Structure 1
């Protein structure tokens, strides 16, 4: 597998909630429809469109609304 084919992994914190992909800093011309991801239950979530893996930073606490 080349590095081009490797999936991206992003560590996120409570400040990034509600979490969605693509993130605001991603290039808009190369993006897909916005999808919201839940990392609170398992500590990670993968985008169904681009395969980016989002992982909750160690020690982060997500508070409910």
Structure 2
């Protein structure tokens, strides 16, 4: 089991395996700190901002097979 992380980070790098991306992520310790919101990171050019907590996500690496 992966170690849970506090969702106090304001910048998180994600990869294709994290898609579809939503915040908070299951790895976050306080996964229920706000309603789950799906973030269109691929459509937004590889970056997304959570409207609830302000966490900035950046997509790293190649993405294939995702709409």
Q: Normalising by structure 1, report the TM-score.
A: 0.76
Runs of 4+ in 1 over 3 A off after TM superposition: none
**How many residues get paired?**
59
Point out where structure 1 has 5 or more consecutive residues left out of the alignment.
Answer: 1-5
Larger helix fraction of residues: 1
> For the pair shown, which has the larger CA radius of gyration, 1 or 2?
1
Cα root mean square deviation, aligned: 2.2
Q: Normalising by structure 2, report the TM-score.
A: 0.74
The 5 A counterparts of 1:1-65 are 8-28=10-30, 31-41=33-43, 42-57=45-60, 59-64=61-66
